[in-house]
């Protein structure tokens, strides 16, 4: 019978996290302009029911406007208890120039080892805001001011509208960048055509070029090369041409080859990890090693299970 968690000493911000965790916070940029959207990144790592962890609440001070939080995870689902990390990214904008402080963020969990509630906090972060290029001037021209003042709703909400436009522009940029990377990936994988699958020989270590970039600590190049190496390996091992290679096709072929469910889950997990890191900020060598080891384990398992 599973005992309920004790009520005594339960923090007000406790949200069912059980295990042992650490938390760090950082800014994508310490200096932004009034035209930019800033980005606060919080990483919670450790072991326990990490999949159930939700984004910690940010108490934004006046003058800072927060937007919808995005989250990614890098979790070893085969370990007991689960271990890994969840990454939360909080976009924000600031209207006024000067130094602004993002306050302490608190996260509480129940430590299964000590059987007690614990709270961990980030350090406060300072962001410097400079005047943007032109937006203030555009809003202050006589013609624009007259039009804005004739519409009170638009005038008083102009900063919210501007923030929304900036956020949409940033989102569009990320989508275009992602599509460009995806096109590059497809073109590289397509080099292995249907008639070339049998001719292509899997090297002793199909991830060797990615391993070299890992040792050189070049995260962006590492994840791109690991993506190419792993998909080239899957194309050959599962006999899928580059033109047909997709997550759906990979899962269909894994099922056809009677690959175990745990191995199939691991394949999908490492593909997701690589894809997320292709578009995220540069990760640490420890994170890179974790993704590489997972990809290496996929290669080892498939070599044993697929003839």
φ, ψ for residue 143 (rounded to 5)?
-65, -40
Token pair for 158: 């102009």
Domains in the chain: boundaries: 1-132, 134-188, 190-305
Band of pLDDT at residue 286, cut at 50, 70 and 90: confident
Band of pLDDT at residue 143, cut at 50, 70 and 90: very low
Lowest mean pLDDT among 31-35, 71-75, 193-197, 239-243: 193-197
Predicted TM-score (pTM) of this structure: 0.45
**Rounded average pLDDT over 266-276:** 86
Residue 202: what pLDDT? 65
**Rounded average pLDDT over 129-151:** 51
* 3-state SS string for 13-53: CCCCCEEEEEEEEEECCCEEECCCCEEEEEEEEEEECHHHC
> What percent of the chain clears pLDDT 70, i.e. is strictly above it?
78
Cα gap 151→175, rounded to integer Å:
33
Residue 189: what pLDDT? 46
Q: Which residues contact 284 (CB under 8 A, 6 or more apart)?
A: none
DSSP code of residue 281: P
Q: Quick: pLDDT tens for 227-269.
A: 999 999 998 889 888 778 888 889 888 988 888 988 888 998 8
From the centroid of its chain, how far is CA 307?
34
Handedness of CA 202, 208, 213, 214 (dihedral sign): positive
φ, ψ for residue 96 (rounded to 5)?
-105, 145
CATH architecture assignment, domain 1-132: Sandwich (2.60)
């Amino acid at each position: 019978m599973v005992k309920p968690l004790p009520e005594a000493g339960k923090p007000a911000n406790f949200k069912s996290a059980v295990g042992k965790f650490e938390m760090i916070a950082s800014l994508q940029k310490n200096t932004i302009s009034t035209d930019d959207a800033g980005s606060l990144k919080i990483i919670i790592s450790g072991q326990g029911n990490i999949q159930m962890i939700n984004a910690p609440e940010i108490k934004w001070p006046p003058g800072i406007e927060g937007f919808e939080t995005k989250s990614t995870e890098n979790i070893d689902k085969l370990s007991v208890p689960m271990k890994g990390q969840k990454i939360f990214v909080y976009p924000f904008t600031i209207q006024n120039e000067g130094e602004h402080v993002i306050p302490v963020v608190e996260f509480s969990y129940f430590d299964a080892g000590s059987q007690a509630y614990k709270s961990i906090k980030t350090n406060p972060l300072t962001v410097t805001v400079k005047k943007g290029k032109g937006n203030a001037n555009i809003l202050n021209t006589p013609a624009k001011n007259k039009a804005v003042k004739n519409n009170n709703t638009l005038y008083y909400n102009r900063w919210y509208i501007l923030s929304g436009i900036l956020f949409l522009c940033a989102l569009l940029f990320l989508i275009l960048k992602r599509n460009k990377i995806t096109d590059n990936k497809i073109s590289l994988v397509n080099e292995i055509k249907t008639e070339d699958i049998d001719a292509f020989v899997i090297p002793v270590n199909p991830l060797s070029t990615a391993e070299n970039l890992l040792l050189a600590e070049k995260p962006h190049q590492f994840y791109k090369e690991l993506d190419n190496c792993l998909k080239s390996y899957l194309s050959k091992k599962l006999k899928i041409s580059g033109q047909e290679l997709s997550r759906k096709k990979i899962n269909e072929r894994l099922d056809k080859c009677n690959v175990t469910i745990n191995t199939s889950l691991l394949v999908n997990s490492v593909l997701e990890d690589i894809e997320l890191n292709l578009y995220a900020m540069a990760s640490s060598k420890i994170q890179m090693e974790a993704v590489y080891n997972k990809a290496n384990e996929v290669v080892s398992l498939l070599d044993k299970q697929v003839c």
